[in-house]
Structure 1
Protein backbone atom coordinates (compact mmCIF):
# COMPACT_ATOMS: atom_id res chain seq x y z
CA UNK A 1 0.00 0.00 0.00
CA UNK A 2 2.92 2.29 0.81
CA UNK A 3 4.53 1.39 -2.50
CA UNK A 4 1.43 2.39 -4.38
CA UNK A 5 1.23 5.72 -2.53
CA UNK A 6 4.90 6.43 -3.23
CA UNK A 7 4.37 5.52 -6.88
CA UNK A 8 1.39 7.88 -7.13
CA UNK A 9 3.43 10.64 -5.50
CA UNK A 10 6.30 10.25 -7.97
CA UNK A 11 3.86 10.23 -10.87
CA UNK A 12 2.31 13.49 -9.66
CA UNK A 13 5.75 15.07 -9.27
CA UNK A 14 6.70 14.11 -12.82
CA UNK A 15 3.45 15.54 -14.14
CA UNK A 16 4.01 18.72 -12.14
CA UNK A 17 7.55 19.07 -13.55
CA UNK A 18 6.23 18.49 -17.06
CA UNK A 19 3.57 21.19 -16.60
CA UNK A 20 6.17 23.60 -15.25
CA UNK A 21 8.47 22.98 -18.21
CA UNK A 22 5.55 23.58 -20.57
CA UNK A 23 4.68 26.81 -18.79
CA UNK A 24 8.32 27.96 -18.95
CA UNK A 25 8.48 27.21 -22.68
CA UNK A 26 5.24 29.12 -23.29
CA UNK A 27 6.51 32.07 -21.23
CA UNK A 28 9.77 32.13 -23.21
CA UNK A 29 7.92 32.04 -26.53
CA UNK A 30 5.58 34.81 -25.40
CA UNK A 31 8.59 36.94 -24.44
CA UNK A 32 10.22 36.39 -27.84
CA UNK A 33 6.99 37.26 -29.64
CA UNK A 34 6.58 40.42 -27.57
CA UNK A 35 10.14 41.42 -28.38
CA UNK A 36 9.56 40.92 -32.11
CA UNK A 37 6.30 42.87 -32.04
CA UNK A 38 7.79 45.91 -30.27
CA UNK A 39 8.90 48.78 -32.58
CA UNK A 40 12.65 49.27 -33.15
CA UNK A 41 14.27 51.85 -30.89
CA UNK A 42 14.26 55.36 -32.34
CA UNK A 43 17.83 56.60 -32.91
CA UNK A 44 18.77 59.71 -31.02
CA UNK A 45 18.85 62.84 -33.19
CA UNK A 46 22.33 63.71 -34.34
CA UNK A 47 23.79 67.04 -33.35
CA UNK A 48 23.86 69.72 -36.09
CA UNK A 49 27.25 70.08 -37.79
CA UNK A 50 29.43 72.75 -36.31
CA UNK A 51 30.41 75.29 -39.01
CA UNK A 52 34.09 75.33 -39.76
CA UNK A 53 35.62 78.78 -39.24
CA UNK A 54 36.72 80.43 -42.47
CA UNK A 55 40.36 81.03 -43.27
CA UNK A 56 39.96 84.81 -43.31
CA UNK A 57 42.86 86.58 -41.67
CA UNK A 58 42.35 88.03 -38.27
CA UNK A 59 42.23 91.81 -37.86
CA UNK A 60 45.78 91.70 -36.52
CA UNK A 61 47.05 89.76 -39.54
CA UNK A 62 45.14 92.03 -41.93
CA UNK A 63 46.75 95.08 -40.39
CA UNK A 64 50.27 93.80 -40.96
CA UNK A 65 52.12 95.32 -43.94
CA UNK A 66 53.18 91.92 -45.26
CA UNK A 67 49.57 90.68 -45.29
CA UNK A 68 48.45 93.13 -47.95
CA UNK A 69 48.75 92.40 -51.68
CA UNK A 70 51.71 94.06 -53.42
CA UNK A 71 50.74 97.37 -54.96
CA UNK A 72 50.95 97.55 -58.74
CA UNK A 73 51.37 100.78 -60.66
CA UNK A 74 48.10 102.02 -62.13
CA UNK A 75 48.34 103.33 -65.71
CA UNK A 76 45.92 106.14 -64.96
CA UNK A 77 47.51 107.20 -61.68
CA UNK A 78 48.43 110.89 -61.52
CA UNK A 79 52.12 111.80 -61.60
CA UNK A 80 53.99 114.77 -60.29
CA UNK A 81 54.39 117.92 -62.34
CA UNK A 82 58.13 117.28 -62.66
CA UNK A 83 57.54 113.78 -64.06
CA UNK A 84 54.92 115.07 -66.50
CA UNK A 85 57.32 117.78 -67.72
CA UNK A 86 60.15 115.29 -68.16
CA UNK A 87 57.87 112.93 -70.08
CA UNK A 88 56.68 115.75 -72.35
CA UNK A 89 60.28 116.73 -73.05
CA UNK A 90 61.07 113.18 -74.11
CA UNK A 91 58.02 113.15 -76.41
CA UNK A 92 59.16 116.40 -78.03
CA UNK A 93 62.60 114.91 -78.56
CA UNK A 94 60.95 111.90 -80.20
CA UNK A 95 59.18 114.27 -82.66
CA UNK A 96 62.55 115.59 -83.84
CA UNK A 97 63.83 112.03 -84.23
CA UNK A 98 60.78 111.03 -86.27
CA UNK A 99 61.10 114.05 -88.55
CA UNK A 100 64.68 112.98 -89.26
CA UNK A 101 63.63 109.38 -89.95
CA UNK A 102 65.12 107.84 -86.77
CA UNK A 103 62.12 105.68 -85.95
CA UNK A 104 63.94 103.17 -83.74
CA UNK A 105 65.43 105.84 -81.47
CA UNK A 106 62.10 107.68 -81.34
CA UNK A 107 60.31 104.48 -80.27
CA UNK A 108 62.72 103.97 -77.37
CA UNK A 109 62.32 107.63 -76.35
CA UNK A 110 58.52 107.39 -76.41
CA UNK A 111 58.52 104.21 -74.35
CA UNK A 112 60.68 105.92 -71.74
CA UNK A 113 58.31 108.89 -71.76
CA UNK A 114 55.32 106.63 -71.09
CA UNK A 115 57.16 104.89 -68.26
CA UNK A 116 57.65 108.26 -66.60
CA UNK A 117 54.08 109.42 -67.30
CA UNK A 118 51.58 106.82 -68.57
CA UNK A 119 49.07 109.66 -69.15
CA UNK A 120 51.21 111.42 -71.76
CA UNK A 121 48.78 111.62 -74.67
CA UNK A 122 51.33 112.95 -77.15
CA UNK A 123 53.75 110.09 -76.49
CA UNK A 124 50.94 107.53 -76.72
CA UNK A 125 49.70 109.05 -80.01
CA UNK A 126 53.15 109.07 -81.59
CA UNK A 127 53.81 105.49 -80.51
CA UNK A 128 50.50 104.37 -82.06
CA UNK A 129 51.46 106.13 -85.31
CA UNK A 130 54.67 104.09 -85.38
CA UNK A 131 53.05 100.76 -84.61
CA UNK A 132 49.69 101.00 -86.45
CA UNK A 133 48.92 100.32 -90.11
CA UNK A 134 48.46 103.78 -91.70
CA UNK A 135 45.93 102.55 -94.26
CA UNK A 136 43.86 100.87 -91.55
CA UNK A 137 43.89 104.09 -89.53
CA UNK A 138 43.44 106.70 -92.27
CA UNK A 139 41.44 104.66 -94.80
CA UNK A 140 42.02 103.76 -98.44
CA UNK A 141 40.18 106.72 -99.95
CA UNK A 142 42.51 109.62 -100.73
CA UNK A 143 43.13 112.43 -103.14
CA UNK A 144 46.35 113.88 -104.59
CA UNK A 145 47.72 117.06 -103.16
CA UNK A 146 50.60 119.18 -104.43
CA UNK A 147 52.79 120.57 -101.68
CA UNK A 148 52.90 124.35 -101.70
CA UNK A 149 56.07 126.37 -101.03
CA UNK A 150 56.82 126.65 -97.32
CA UNK A 151 54.51 123.73 -96.37
CA UNK A 152 55.68 120.89 -94.16
CA UNK A 153 54.11 117.51 -93.57
CA UNK A 154 53.08 118.72 -90.10
CA UNK A 155 51.24 121.72 -91.55
CA UNK A 156 49.47 119.48 -94.06
CA UNK A 157 48.43 117.13 -91.24
CA UNK A 158 47.07 120.10 -89.33
CA UNK A 159 45.13 121.33 -92.37
CA UNK A 160 43.54 118.04 -93.48
CA UNK A 161 43.67 115.78 -90.41
CA UNK A 162 43.10 118.41 -87.76
CA UNK A 163 46.19 117.53 -85.70
CA UNK A 164 49.72 118.73 -86.34
CA UNK A 165 51.10 115.72 -84.44
CA UNK A 166 49.60 113.25 -86.95
CA UNK A 167 52.45 114.09 -89.30
CA UNK A 168 54.19 110.75 -88.89
CA UNK A 169 51.31 108.48 -89.80
CA UNK A 170 50.67 110.75 -92.81
CA UNK A 171 54.34 110.34 -93.74
CA UNK A 172 54.03 106.55 -93.51
CA UNK A 173 50.82 106.76 -95.56
CA UNK A 174 52.98 108.26 -98.32
CA UNK A 175 56.07 106.10 -97.68
CA UNK A 176 58.13 109.12 -96.67
CA UNK A 177 61.16 107.78 -94.82
CA UNK A 178 62.38 111.25 -93.80
CA UNK A 179 59.35 113.52 -93.29
CA UNK A 180 61.31 116.76 -93.08
CA UNK A 181 62.65 116.26 -96.62
CA UNK A 182 59.23 117.05 -98.13
CA UNK A 183 59.65 119.74 -100.78
CA UNK A 184 57.41 122.12 -102.68
CA UNK A 185 55.79 120.71 -105.82
CA UNK A 186 55.82 117.16 -104.52
CA UNK A 187 52.48 115.33 -104.87
CA UNK A 188 51.34 113.29 -101.87
CA UNK A 189 48.20 111.35 -100.97
CA UNK A 190 45.88 112.92 -98.45
CA UNK A 191 43.31 110.55 -96.89
CA UNK A 192 39.65 111.34 -97.31
CA UNK A 193 37.68 113.18 -99.98
CA UNK A 194 39.09 116.16 -101.82
CA UNK A 195 37.73 119.44 -100.53
CA UNK A 196 35.57 121.46 -102.96
CA UNK A 197 37.51 123.94 -105.09
CA UNK A 198 37.70 127.43 -103.79
CA UNK A 199 35.39 129.87 -105.58
CA UNK A 200 37.05 132.09 -108.17
CA UNK A 201 37.54 135.67 -106.98
CA UNK A 202 34.96 138.11 -108.29
CA UNK A 203 36.25 140.47 -110.99
CA UNK A 204 36.98 143.96 -109.79
CA UNK A 205 34.76 146.73 -111.20
CA UNK A 206 36.28 148.89 -113.97
Structure 2
Protein backbone atom coordinates (compact mmCIF):
# COMPACT_ATOMS: atom_id res chain seq x y z
CA UNK A 1 0.00 0.00 0.00
CA UNK A 2 2.87 2.37 0.79
CA UNK A 3 4.42 1.58 -2.58
CA UNK A 4 1.11 2.30 -4.35
CA UNK A 5 0.70 5.61 -2.58
CA UNK A 6 4.26 6.61 -3.45
CA UNK A 7 3.68 5.72 -7.10
CA UNK A 8 0.46 7.78 -7.26
CA UNK A 9 2.28 10.73 -5.76
CA UNK A 10 5.14 10.34 -8.25
CA UNK A 11 2.84 10.04 -11.28
CA UNK A 12 0.81 13.00 -10.12
CA UNK A 13 3.96 15.11 -10.25
CA UNK A 14 4.82 14.26 -13.87
CA UNK A 15 4.77 17.27 -16.12
CA UNK A 16 5.54 19.66 -13.26
CA UNK A 17 8.82 21.24 -12.37
CA UNK A 18 10.81 18.91 -10.11
CA UNK A 19 10.61 19.93 -6.47
CA UNK A 20 12.67 18.90 -3.49
CA UNK A 21 10.92 16.37 -1.36
CA UNK A 22 11.96 14.09 1.48
CA UNK A 23 12.75 10.49 0.72
CA UNK A 24 10.01 8.07 1.78
CA UNK A 25 10.39 6.29 5.08
CA UNK A 26 12.48 3.11 4.82
CA UNK A 27 10.47 -0.10 4.62
CA UNK A 28 10.37 -2.28 7.68
CA UNK A 29 12.86 -5.10 7.64
CA UNK A 30 11.35 -8.42 6.66
CA UNK A 31 11.39 -11.03 9.43
CA UNK A 32 14.19 -13.53 9.14
CA UNK A 33 12.99 -17.08 8.70
CA UNK A 34 14.29 -19.50 11.32
CA UNK A 35 17.13 -21.74 10.19
CA UNK A 36 16.29 -25.30 9.36
CA UNK A 37 18.35 -28.42 9.39
CA UNK A 38 18.35 -28.63 5.58
CA UNK A 39 21.19 -26.46 4.23
CA UNK A 40 21.64 -28.28 0.94
CA UNK A 41 20.01 -25.44 -1.02
CA UNK A 42 22.09 -22.72 0.63
CA UNK A 43 24.60 -21.03 -1.71
CA UNK A 44 28.25 -21.56 -0.94
CA UNK A 45 31.10 -19.08 -1.37
CA UNK A 46 33.16 -19.65 -4.51
CA UNK A 47 36.45 -21.29 -3.49
CA UNK A 48 39.86 -20.01 -4.56
CA UNK A 49 38.99 -16.33 -5.16
CA UNK A 50 41.22 -13.52 -3.95
CA UNK A 51 39.54 -10.43 -2.42
CA UNK A 52 39.47 -8.47 -5.69
CA UNK A 53 37.93 -11.37 -7.57
CA UNK A 54 35.39 -11.95 -4.81
CA UNK A 55 34.46 -8.27 -4.81
CA UNK A 56 33.78 -8.52 -8.55
CA UNK A 57 31.68 -11.60 -7.85
CA UNK A 58 29.57 -9.73 -5.28
CA UNK A 59 28.96 -6.84 -7.68
CA UNK A 60 28.02 -9.22 -10.49
CA UNK A 61 25.57 -11.13 -8.30
CA UNK A 62 23.91 -7.93 -7.07
CA UNK A 63 23.66 -6.64 -10.63
CA UNK A 64 21.82 -9.86 -11.47
CA UNK A 65 19.62 -9.36 -8.39
CA UNK A 66 20.89 -12.50 -6.69
CA UNK A 67 21.16 -11.01 -3.21
CA UNK A 68 21.14 -14.38 -1.45
CA UNK A 69 24.33 -15.57 -3.15
CA UNK A 70 25.85 -12.08 -2.92
CA UNK A 71 25.48 -12.10 0.88
CA UNK A 72 27.42 -15.37 1.11
CA UNK A 73 30.23 -14.06 -1.09
CA UNK A 74 30.29 -10.76 0.80
CA UNK A 75 30.63 -12.52 4.15
CA UNK A 76 33.55 -14.50 2.71
CA UNK A 77 35.09 -11.26 1.41
CA UNK A 78 34.82 -9.56 4.80
CA UNK A 79 36.45 -12.58 6.39
CA UNK A 80 39.32 -12.32 3.89
CA UNK A 81 39.71 -8.53 4.03
CA UNK A 82 37.77 -7.05 6.99
CA UNK A 83 38.93 -3.49 6.36
CA UNK A 84 38.06 -3.25 2.66
CA UNK A 85 36.07 -0.06 2.12
CA UNK A 86 34.10 -1.30 -0.88
CA UNK A 87 33.00 -4.40 1.02
CA UNK A 88 31.76 -2.31 3.94
CA UNK A 89 29.76 -0.05 1.60
CA UNK A 90 28.17 -3.09 -0.03
CA UNK A 91 27.47 -4.63 3.37
CA UNK A 92 25.61 -1.52 4.51
CA UNK A 93 23.81 -1.36 1.15
CA UNK A 94 22.55 -4.93 1.57
CA UNK A 95 22.09 -5.36 5.30
CA UNK A 96 21.74 -1.81 6.60
CA UNK A 97 19.40 1.12 6.11
CA UNK A 98 20.05 2.48 2.58
CA UNK A 99 18.48 5.83 3.48
CA UNK A 100 21.30 6.44 5.96
CA UNK A 101 23.78 6.36 3.05
CA UNK A 102 22.25 9.14 0.94
CA UNK A 103 21.12 12.78 1.28
CA UNK A 104 17.72 13.28 2.89
CA UNK A 105 16.12 15.22 0.05
CA UNK A 106 15.33 13.76 -3.34
CA UNK A 107 13.99 14.66 -6.76
CA UNK A 108 12.32 12.83 -9.61
CA UNK A 109 14.73 11.54 -12.24
CA UNK A 110 13.85 10.00 -15.59
CA UNK A 111 16.25 7.18 -16.45
CA UNK A 112 18.11 7.87 -19.71
CA UNK A 113 19.62 5.38 -22.18
CA UNK A 114 22.94 4.15 -20.84
CA UNK A 115 22.03 4.75 -17.20
CA UNK A 116 22.60 1.94 -14.72
CA UNK A 117 22.46 2.08 -10.95
CA UNK A 118 26.26 1.94 -10.97
CA UNK A 119 26.61 5.03 -13.18
CA UNK A 120 23.85 6.87 -11.31
CA UNK A 121 25.42 6.10 -7.93
CA UNK A 122 28.76 7.41 -9.16
CA UNK A 123 27.26 10.53 -10.70
CA UNK A 124 24.85 11.53 -7.93
CA UNK A 125 26.17 9.84 -4.79
CA UNK A 126 29.89 10.00 -5.59
CA UNK A 127 30.43 6.26 -5.00
CA UNK A 128 29.56 3.57 -7.52
CA UNK A 129 29.51 0.95 -4.75
CA UNK A 130 26.33 2.55 -3.37
CA UNK A 131 24.49 1.29 -6.44
CA UNK A 132 22.60 -1.39 -4.54
CA UNK A 133 21.47 1.08 -1.88
CA UNK A 134 20.11 3.27 -4.68
CA UNK A 135 18.36 0.26 -6.22
CA UNK A 136 16.74 -0.60 -2.88
CA UNK A 137 15.55 2.98 -2.41
CA UNK A 138 14.18 3.05 -5.95
CA UNK A 139 12.38 -0.25 -5.55
CA UNK A 140 13.73 -1.53 -8.87
CA UNK A 141 16.00 -4.54 -9.26
CA UNK A 142 19.37 -3.59 -10.80
CA UNK A 143 18.78 -5.82 -13.83
CA UNK A 144 15.30 -4.35 -14.41
CA UNK A 145 16.20 -0.65 -14.69
CA UNK A 146 15.30 0.71 -18.13
CA UNK A 147 15.10 4.06 -19.94
CA UNK A 148 11.93 5.96 -19.09
CA UNK A 149 11.70 4.67 -15.51
CA UNK A 150 11.09 7.45 -12.98
CA UNK A 151 13.02 7.09 -9.74
CA UNK A 152 13.55 9.27 -6.69
CA UNK A 153 17.16 10.43 -6.85
CA UNK A 154 18.65 11.38 -3.48
CA UNK A 155 20.11 14.87 -3.36
CA UNK A 156 19.15 18.26 -4.70
CA UNK A 157 17.52 18.99 -8.02
CA UNK A 158 19.99 19.61 -10.81
CA UNK A 159 20.38 18.77 -14.42
CA UNK A 160 21.97 15.32 -14.87
CA UNK A 161 25.23 16.96 -15.88
CA UNK A 162 27.75 14.31 -15.07
CA UNK A 163 30.80 16.59 -15.03
CA UNK A 164 29.24 18.42 -12.09
CA UNK A 165 29.96 15.58 -9.70
CA UNK A 166 33.65 15.42 -10.50
CA UNK A 167 36.01 17.06 -8.02
CA UNK A 168 38.49 17.89 -10.75
CA UNK A 169 38.20 18.04 -14.50
CA UNK A 170 41.23 16.87 -16.44
CA UNK A 171 41.78 18.38 -19.85
CA UNK A 172 39.76 16.73 -22.59
CA UNK A 173 41.81 14.52 -24.86
CA UNK A 174 40.77 14.98 -28.47
CA UNK A 175 41.22 12.00 -30.72
CA UNK A 176 42.41 12.92 -34.18
CA UNK A 177 41.68 10.68 -37.15
CA UNK A 178 44.74 9.01 -38.68
CA UNK A 179 46.41 10.98 -41.46
CA UNK A 180 45.57 9.59 -44.86
CA UNK A 181 48.28 9.35 -47.46
CA UNK A 182 47.53 9.21 -51.16
CA UNK A 183 48.51 5.91 -52.78
CA UNK A 184 51.45 6.00 -55.17
CA UNK A 185 50.66 6.47 -58.85
CA UNK A 186 49.51 3.21 -60.33
CA UNK A 187 49.34 1.52 -56.93
CA UNK A 188 46.33 -0.55 -56.02
CA UNK A 189 44.53 0.70 -52.91
CA UNK A 190 45.09 -1.64 -49.97
CA UNK A 191 42.04 -3.64 -48.99
CA UNK A 192 43.18 -4.01 -45.37
CA UNK A 193 43.44 -0.28 -44.64
CA UNK A 194 42.82 0.84 -41.08
CA UNK A 195 39.20 1.85 -40.43
CA UNK A 196 38.36 5.52 -40.11
CA UNK A 197 38.15 7.08 -36.68
CA UNK A 198 34.73 6.70 -34.99
CA UNK A 199 32.20 9.40 -35.71
CA UNK A 200 30.84 11.46 -32.82
CA UNK A 201 28.22 9.19 -31.32
CA UNK A 202 27.17 10.07 -27.73
CA UNK A 203 24.81 7.11 -27.45
CA UNK A 204 27.59 4.63 -28.25
CA UNK A 205 29.91 6.54 -25.94
CA UNK A 206 27.43 6.17 -23.07
CA UNK A 207 27.22 2.44 -23.69
CA UNK A 208 30.99 2.05 -23.53
CA UNK A 209 31.13 4.32 -20.48
CA UNK A 210 28.57 2.19 -18.68
CA UNK A 211 30.52 -0.97 -19.46
CA UNK A 212 33.79 0.68 -18.41
CA UNK A 213 32.41 1.83 -15.07
CA UNK A 214 30.99 -1.61 -14.39
CA UNK A 215 34.39 -3.16 -15.12
CA UNK A 216 36.10 -0.60 -12.87
CA UNK A 217 33.66 -1.29 -10.04
CA UNK A 218 34.32 -5.00 -10.48
CA UNK A 219 38.08 -4.43 -10.20
CA UNK A 220 38.96 -5.15 -13.82
CA UNK A 221 40.92 -1.94 -14.31
CA UNK A 222 42.72 -2.74 -17.58
CA UNK A 223 39.42 -3.58 -19.24
CA UNK A 224 37.85 -0.44 -17.78
CA UNK A 225 40.62 1.76 -19.21
CA UNK A 226 40.14 0.19 -22.64
CA UNK A 227 36.36 0.68 -22.63
CA UNK A 228 36.49 4.24 -21.30
CA UNK A 229 39.12 5.13 -23.88
CA UNK A 230 36.82 3.82 -26.57
CA UNK A 231 33.93 5.83 -25.11
CA UNK A 232 36.00 9.00 -25.30
CA UNK A 233 36.73 8.32 -28.96
CA UNK A 234 33.01 8.39 -29.68
CA UNK A 235 32.42 11.56 -27.63
CA UNK A 236 35.75 13.41 -27.27
CA UNK A 237 34.16 16.53 -25.70
CA UNK A 238 32.51 14.59 -22.87
CA UNK A 239 34.28 15.73 -19.70
CA UNK A 240 32.62 13.09 -17.55
CA UNK A 241 34.09 10.29 -19.66
CA UNK A 242 37.47 12.03 -19.67
CA UNK A 243 37.34 12.26 -15.87
CA UNK A 244 36.33 8.59 -15.56
CA UNK A 245 39.20 7.57 -17.84
CA UNK A 246 41.70 9.67 -15.86
CA UNK A 247 40.48 8.07 -12.62
CA UNK A 248 40.75 4.57 -14.09
CA UNK A 249 44.29 5.30 -15.30
CA UNK A 250 45.28 6.53 -11.83
CA UNK A 251 43.99 3.30 -10.31
CA UNK A 252 45.74 1.31 -13.02
CA UNK A 253 49.02 3.08 -12.27
CA UNK A 254 48.64 2.49 -8.54
CA UNK A 255 47.98 -1.22 -9.09
CA UNK A 256 50.99 -1.59 -11.40
CA UNK A 257 53.36 0.05 -8.89
CA UNK A 258 52.43 -2.31 -6.06
TM-score by length of 2: 0.41
Listed as ranges, the gaps of 5+ residues in structure 1 are 1-82, 199-206
- Please point out which of 64, 86, 106 is paired with 1:142: 106
CA contact (8 A) 1:94 1:110 kept: yes
| 1:28-69 Cα shifts (integer Å, max 9, x gaps) | xxxxxxxxxxxxxxxxxxxxxxxxxxxxxxxxxxxxxxxxxx
SS at match of 2:50: helix
Counterpart position of 1:174: 138
Q: For the pair shown, which has the larger CA radius of gyration, 1 or 2?
A: 1
SS at match of 1:88: helix
Counterpart position of 1:13: none
| 1:160-195 Cα shifts (integer Å, max 9, x gaps) | 11111111000011112x202210111111111112
Counterpart position of 2:149: 186
Moved >4 Å (runs of 4+): none
Counterpart position of 2:65: 101
CA contact (8 A) 2:92 2:98 kept: no
TM-score by length of 1: 0.51
Q: Structure 1 residue 123: deviation in Å?
A: 1.4
Q: Report the count of equivalent residues.
A: 114
CA contact (8 A) 1:144 1:188 kept: yes
Q: Structure 1 residue 197: deviation in Å?
A: 8.5
Cα 1:95–1:193 change in 2 (3 A) is same
C-alpha root-mean-square deviation of aligned residues, in Å?
A: 2.0
Structure number with higher relative contact order (C-alpha < 8 Å, ≥ 6 residues apart): 2
Alignment map for 1:83-162 (pairs within 5 Å): 86-162=50-126
Listed as ranges, the gaps of 5+ residues in structure 2 are 1-47, 162-258
Q: Distance in 2 between matches of 1:97 and 1:179?
A: 10
Q: Structure 1 residue 142: deviation in Å?
A: 0.5
SS at match of 2:69: helix
Q: Distance in 2 between matches of 1:134 and 1:119?
A: 20
